[in-house]
A and B are shown apart, each in its own frame.
Chain A
Amino acid sequence: MITRHRLGLVLLLLAALAGGGCAAMSVQPWDRDLLAQKKMRFVPLPMEAATDDHIYFSKEGSTGGTDVAGGGCGCN
């Protein structure tokens, strides 16, 4: 039963992450100095990541998880 509703549970988790959270202003806009750095990204080295996707896609049976956008300096 859990397996059938796996995706449903995941989608629920995503919805909760997106809209929920009382920590709305826990990180002030001027506290994003570290997050603004180029290395503070889900994919800091895109060329390396693309190469890895290619290698593991050919050598294994799973498809790569796609990283999501987010973080950053939050400017503009």
Chain B
Amino acid sequence: MTSHRHAFFKQDMLFLWLAATTALCFGLLINQFRDEPLPLIYKGKEERLQVAVESLTTPAIPAASPAPVAENLPEFLTLEEFAEFVDKGGLVLDARPEIFHRLGHVPGAISLPRDDFERAFTALREKLEADKAQPLVLYCASSSCEDSELVKKSLMELGYTRVAVFKGGWSEWQAAGKPEKSGQ
């Protein structure tokens, strides 16, 4: 019985080692065929966004030091303040992944996803650079997501001075029964 157990354990561990090695080789192989292969060393969300911001600051946009949010635009907006901002036609940016923006977003909001910041910002550059002091409000999925705050930090590093966040995000907007729009 004990010898059986010992033999089983050895076989099980050998299988585990072989399966793990095969899976890792397969995973590394598929990775090479991706449009954007995952690097071997992990970089956090904030670090990745920082790399994107650094590539955007040269040479087209001169680096600007972060400035405080203007007095008449609070750092964080409540649902009422955000709804008023939307009604007045203020520039709203959706920091969620683009697929979620397509499925449904705040009317008038433009997609500026955290996970694809470099490409999306380049596409919006003309609109955003027209006035770096224009009020911008960001939102993401809910109060527990961090995308809007990360994108806000990046925009401020790029020289935008009036950037605020609607903390409640899409979930609070939807729960309040506010108007929605889908598509681009």
User: Are A and B co-members of a single complex?
Assistant: no
Residues of chain A having any CB pair with chain B under 8 Å: none
